[in-house]
Structure 1
Amino acid sequence: MAAEKKKDISTCFKLPNNKTKIVCTLGPASSSDCVIKALMLKGMNVARLNFSHGTFEEHRNLIRTIRETASKLCIEVGIMIDLPGPKIRVGTFEDNTVHLLKGDEVFLTTNDVVGSKKTIPINYKKLPTKISSGDSIYLNDGFIHLQCLEVYGENIKCKVLTGGILSSNKGVNLPGIEIDLDPITEKDLEAIRFGLNEGVNIFSISFIEKAADIIKVRDFAHNLGKNVFLIAKIEREKAVKSIDKIIKVTDGLMIARGDMGVELPIQKVPHVQKELIIKATTKGIPIITATHMLESMIENIRPTRAEVTDIANAILDGTDAVMLSGETAAGKHPVPSVAMMASIAHECEIWREKSQWGIQRIENKICSVSMTVDEVISHHVNDAVQRLPVKYVITPTFSGKTARKVSSFKPRTWILAFSRNELTAESLTFSYGVLPYHVSNLENDWEDTVLKYMKKWNIYNSGDVVVLTKGPSTGKPGETNLLKIITLT
């Protein structure tokens, strides 16, 4: 049974402290009603549900709690289902964790056994035929490094080159080794069907390698009569090489730095991250920077200086959103982690607005390609914001494209995006500086409707300047063709 429809939240107005969006992974540390509410109040814009863990029933309960809490708080919070993909993982251990020491000899096995310090089960049955003596195997995002010594049937004898704590179900990476696994698994399709039945239409797709992987998911949803908003997780070298084709068919990108830092030489991750951010910005689609952003706050109440700098650099480069994983899913300080992320974002945004750091570079890159009419309108909105004391940019939108294009310029002004399309409103929770509102009833025309809401919210002040974009209201995407500058009277 599908989750209940959300209430029309366009009856209230709350201005956040930061324009950078925050994606939070929910898990054991953040599944209660009170913690979810606290995460929202501190700045969570999108809840990520990691379908590599948990049951459908557990996720169903989370979805309903998120919807109900967001409705009570009168805010738009997106829900993103993160599909597990063909992740190669270790199995389970009797005490959940084992400690591997440098120099230890261990056996990897494809047999279905409970793991120990000496025997580590792997869920990839073809592994013994794919690996050879001397090959490297990385566990737990590359923190543990093994070297293959010999292969015996279903067992692989390895030496521990870099040790560490290994817990159940952690990931396995085999850089340089050809893995013949379909990026879209039957388990993924089952998760998509479940999500759609529960009213969730936003999915992040793991371990994609080509544009066809995105198209496969979109076609599957369309065959079920549903539209979806798809985030391509970029974590494999093949995906990085195919990014120009992938970016044409996806709705958003995620820089999944955990696996990327093992699949690619780790020293390449910083410049790949910067290149992906500018490509997404130029295309006008949201991009999420993820993994190890506040990793130390899993245990500690304060982050490291390096983590704060990492987040700041991602924001200054133009990322739309930053994501917390273990920090909110299983850490000791989920709510302080979100509060810290929000405060870092707020400080960066103030400094960028004062210094105009990177703004000209972003604008030059966006304007370096051929532009459509609605993209030209977005550019002129940015000009108006830079030259006039604009209080708000108001973008009625069917597809969300105009709001995202304006957002790409990283304006100092908030963008109020109104849509009759519920999925559009929810998907705009990923875009920098956009406050999305789902409006079920359009009164007269958009201009009358949004000005009426501004009066209701007590943000209609005589003398304020607002910029309004408009189109023919045919319900077709990309038809914005008018920019109107209004001085409120």
Structure 2
Amino acid sequence: MRTKIIATIGPASRSHEVLSRLVNAGVGIFRLNFSHGDASMFVELIGLLRELERESGRPLTILQDLSGPKIRIGEIAKGALSVSKGDRLLLGPAPAPADNRPFIPFDHPAVLAEFEIGDRVVLSDGGLQFRVVDKGPNGTFELEANNNGMITSRKGLALPGKSVKLAALTAKDRKDLADGLALGVDAVALSYVQTPDDIRDAKEIIRAAGRNIPVIAKLERQNAVDRLDEILAETDIVMVARGDLGVECPLPELPAMQKRIIRACNRAAKPVIVATQMLLSMVNSPSPTRAETTDVANAVLDGADCVMLSEETAMGSFPVETVNFMKEIAMKAEELHFELQRLREPDVGRGSADFLAYSACLLAEKANADAIVSHSLSGSSARLISSRRPQQPVYAITPDPAAQRWLNFSWGVFPEGGDEGISGHLERAEAFIERCPDIPDGADVVITAGQPKPGDTPRGTNLVKIYRK
């Protein structure tokens, strides 16, 4: 399978037994959701994942997902508030003493400053929708309910179509990131990214800690999608976070938006993750719906590098079965991908590294090679090869464990350590081919490597050749 699967860890999957089964089922990336706690909650789990990494003999990637500036209402009196269509309610920091209208506590001055009469206000991930009809006393606003529902405490609030200037990294996120880096996380996802500065802020914290891990920009705001090219220039990976994005934009626009984001990421050679409700019915059911299987397949056909499971593996009754279903769907979609797709040239203006990667894929296609082996200290050459979507598996040889775990996000790439007792990069790649049991004797393999002149330091990939095992 070329498509990578990300599994969120929660109560249903924290045990050694379930995690081991998830690894055997094909999961290489494990998501830790910091919205529901801090680093102290994950110390034991991270140790367990490193133990499984040693047992399995393959790199496992630990993804820290920061909570970000989730805009939430306060505590509802008596815990819940029933709302019927047409009801009028007040929302704000505090109600007037003699006002008996239902009240939603909300004390976010920066967000309230953006409220205007006629605005849409959405609660509970789109489950409850309101319209701002008037200004009330004490900095409150009067809302009219557009549908029936129940409001409970601490639910998320969104203003679709409005740009609220909140930094992606909160004080909690900064502490969580520093603590996560100290614990050894391999990647970090930023929630509610709006500008390239959000990515730069996170990278500054990572550099200050002496680490080099990928930053994932979660696209959950319309204004982030509007600035996609700028964000792509800064970020390492993109996540199409369809939950909040589906609240921000009209739902009929979401499928086309997802396809455009994936296409832009593919062209920029940046891995892209599709997330949210992919196999949600499998939280309680041993099999998915027809629509869900089609959704996963379409994400693969669109060009997603990774597909992500959230509640399905964190709290569902069938975490391993869900991964197995996702793997089968992805593999069938990949078969169709190879029937329909042709090798794509890099866009005009791309650098020599892009064209070397394309040349390697073209050579592998024309020579009917069995595999591509890319020796790359940083992993960047393998990521460029992955972005071309070759039919051959791509074995990425790098001695850097951090680079190996980074490469778990790239479609079709299988990271390997290589023999560090061999100094030459080309010789190291050839030695890997000779001992790799998945490459048969007599097979032709395309190798890419950075082969420096004697005495020189490596300067990136400068060699493409065919090697016969």
What TM-score does the superposition give when structure 2 sets the normalisation length? 0.90
Distance apart, 1:165 and its partner CA:
5.9
Q: How does 1:129-278 map to 2 (within 5 A)?
A: 129-150=113-134, 151-153=136-138, 156-164=141-149, 169-278=154-263
Contact 1:85–1:207 (CA under 8 A) maintained in structure 2:
yes
For the residue of structure 2 that corresponds to 1:221, the secondary structure is helix
For 2:458 and 2:107, locate their aligned partners in 1 and report how far apart those are by CA, in whole Å.
46
The answer on whether the counterparts of 2:213 and 2:406 sit within 8 Å (CA) in structure 1 is no
Q: Which residue of 1 aligns with 2:69?
A: 86
Identity, % of aligned positions: 33
Quickly say closer, same or farther: Cα 1:270–1:402, change in 2 above 3 A: same
In structure 1, the residue matched to 2:461 is 480
Task: Indicate how the Cα distance of structure 1 residues 139 and 32 shifts in structure 2: closer, same or farther if over 3 A, else same.
Answer: farther
Q: 1:144 to 1:470 in 2, by over 3 A?
A: same
SS at match of 1:416: strand
- Alignment of 1:317 onto 2:302: yes
User: What is the distance in 2 between the residues matched to 1:259 and 1:320?
Assistant: 21
The structure-2 alpha-carbon separation of the partners of 1:36 and 1:159, relative to structure 1 and needing over 3 Å to count, comes to farther
TM-score for both structures, normalised by structure 1: 0.86
* Structure 2 counterpart of 1:291, one-letter code: T
Range that drifts further, 259-268 or 241-250: 259-268
Structure-1 separation of matches of 2:80 and 2:465: 61
1:181, CA displacement in angstroms? 1.8
Shift of 1:288: 0.5
* Residue 45 (structure 2) pairs with residue 66 (structure 1): no
What is the RMSD of the two structures over their aligned residues, measured on CA atoms? 2.7
Pick the aligned partner of 2:388 from 409, 412, 417.
409
Q: Which residue of 1 aligns with 2:423?
A: 444
Distance 1:103-1:336 versus aligned 2 partners, 3 A rule: farther
Aligned to 2:346: 367
CA contact (8 A) 1:298 1:326 kept: yes
SS in 2 for 1:430: coil
Over residues 75-124 of structure 1, what are the superposed CA-to-partner deviations in whole Å (9 max), with x where a residue is unaligned?
Answer: 2221111111111124567998776554555554546xxxxxx6554463
Unpaired runs of 5+ in structure 2?
Answer: 95-101
> 3-state DSSP class of the match of 1:47?
strand
Q: Is the 8 Å Cα contact of residues 89 and 123 (structure 1) preserved in structure 2?
A: no
Range with bigger deviation, 190-199 or 435-444: 435-444
Q: Is the 8 A contact 2:131 2:143 kept in 1?
A: yes
CA distance in 1, matches of 2:346, 2:417: 30
Q: Deviations over 1:412-463 (max 9, x none)?
A: 2111111122221111101001001234724132333344344444345331
- Over residues 444-488 of structure 1, what are the superposed CA-to-partner deviations in whole Å (9 max), with x where a residue is unaligned? 3233334434444434533111111011367767x2111010111
Residue type at the aligned position of 2:23:
M
Q: 2:446 aligns with which of 461, 467, 473?
A: 467
Taking a change above 3 Å as real, the CA distance of residues 172 and 38 of structure 1, as seen in their structure-2 partners, is farther
| Distance verdict in 2 for CA 1:168–1:79, change over 3 Å | farther
Aligned to 2:408: 429
Deviations along 1:325-369, one digit per CA (max 9) or x if unpaired, are: 12222223222211111110011112222x2x2335xx1xx5222
> Given the alignment of the two structures, is residue 23 of structure 1 paired with residue 6 of structure 2, yes or no?
yes
**Residue 327 (structure 2) pairs with residue 342 (structure 1):** yes
Match for residue 41 of structure 1 among 5, 21, 24? 24
Tell me if the contact between 2:13 and 2:315 (Cα under 8 Å) persists in the aligned partners: yes
CA distance in 1, matches of 2:113, 2:443: 69
- Equivalent residue letter for 2:278: M
1:164–1:446 distance in 2 versus 1, CA, 3 Å: farther
179-188 vs 390-399, greater mean Cα deviation: 179-188
CA deviations on 1:132-189 (whole Å, 9 max, x unpaired) are 4443221222122133355343655544323446665442211233423222222121
Does the 8 Å CA contact 2:130/2:146 hold for their aligned counterparts? Answer: yes
Distance 1:247 1:128, change over 3 A: closer
SS in 2 for 1:86: coil
Contact 2:283 2:315 in 1 (8 A): yes
Q: Distance in 1 between matches of 2:440 and 2:284?
A: 46
Check the 8 A contact 2:425/2:450 in 1, yes or no. Answer: no
Structure 1 residues 189-198 or 441-450, which shifts more?
Answer: 441-450
What is the CA distance between 1:33 and its match in structure 2? Answer: 2.0
**Cα distance, 1:440–1:485 mapped onto 2, change above 3 Å:** closer
The one-letter amino acid of 1:434's match is V
Aligned residue number for residue 288 of structure 1: 273
Paired residues of 1:290 and 1:323 also in contact (CA < 8 A): yes
User: Judging changes above 3 Å, is the alpha-carbon distance between structure 1 residues 339 and 152 closer, same or farther for their aligned structure 2 residues?
Assistant: farther
Partner of 2:286: 301
Q: Is the 8 A contact 1:451 1:460 kept in 2?
A: no
Question: Cα–Cα, structure 1 residues 143 and 380, in superposed 2: closer, same or farther, change >3 Å?
Answer: same
Deviation of residue 269 (structure 1)? Answer: 1.7
1:123–1:422 distance in 2 versus 1, CA, 3 Å: farther
Rate the CA distance shift 1:213–1:423 in 2: closer, same or farther, 3 A. Answer: same
